Amino acid sequence: MSCTASFRVGDKVVYPNQGVGVIETVGQRSLGESVQEYYLLRIESSNLRVMVPSANAAVIGLRAVSAAGEWQTVLQFLEKKPVASITAPNDWKSRFKENSDKMRDGTLLHLAEVLKGLAQLHQGKPLSYREKKMLDRAALLLSGEMACTGDLSPDQALERLQSALAKAGLTLPPPDAEE
């Protein structure tokens, strides 16, 4: 099998742009003449069930939940004072595409870059509706994984992220109430 990681039932994994999930089933399905192994996972935040062919897991970005030690790097990144001007494109469409790519990648540092970049942009002007939703999503994904990794509630994890951003002079806008 060409998959870089092999998951078992009960493993917690991260599905990019969706969050932490639990492998419920590792099974096989027939597709024409071939048989493919797949993972059935349940996303914790939404109870969404996703079937991922195990051969595509690495391409999709399915990964194990990060270790507790990896959060130190993320929090240190968030705590650093931003440089005078963020390197994100000024054109919101280009910036949105770049941030969308980082969100789909799903690595901790890319999610932290989106969170910090949009928080910094928010300090100067209100975010567009789509960028505000992306900022909320990045905060949700990071806090969800941090909670899973660090034995915290999602609210406690979000407070840690906000505290780290505060050290950099940044704040998160309140989440949208209309959800």
Residue corresponding to tokens 């906000």: 162
> Looking at domain 68-167, what is its CATH homologous superfamily?
CarD-like, C-terminal domain (1.20.58.1290)
CATH topology of domain 12-64: Thrombin, subunit H (2.40.10)
Choose between 128 and 83: higher pLDDT.
128
pLDDT digits 0-9 by tens, 127-147: 889 999 999 999 999 999 999
Rounded to the nearest integer, the mean pLDDT of the chain is 89
The count of other CB atoms within 10 Å of the CB of residue 134 is 22
105: Cβ–Cβ under 8 A, 6 or more apart, which residues?
16, 61
Task: Provide the whole-model pTM.
Answer: 0.86
CATH 1.20.58.1290 segments of the chain: 68-167
Residue ranges in 10-167 assigned as alpha helix (H): 57-60, 71-79, 92-105, 108-124, 129-150, 154-167
Of the pLDDT bands very low, low, confident and very high (cuts 50, 70, 90), residue 2 is: very low
CATH 2.40.10.170 segments of the chain: 12-64
Amino acid at 98: E
pLDDT of residue 132: 94
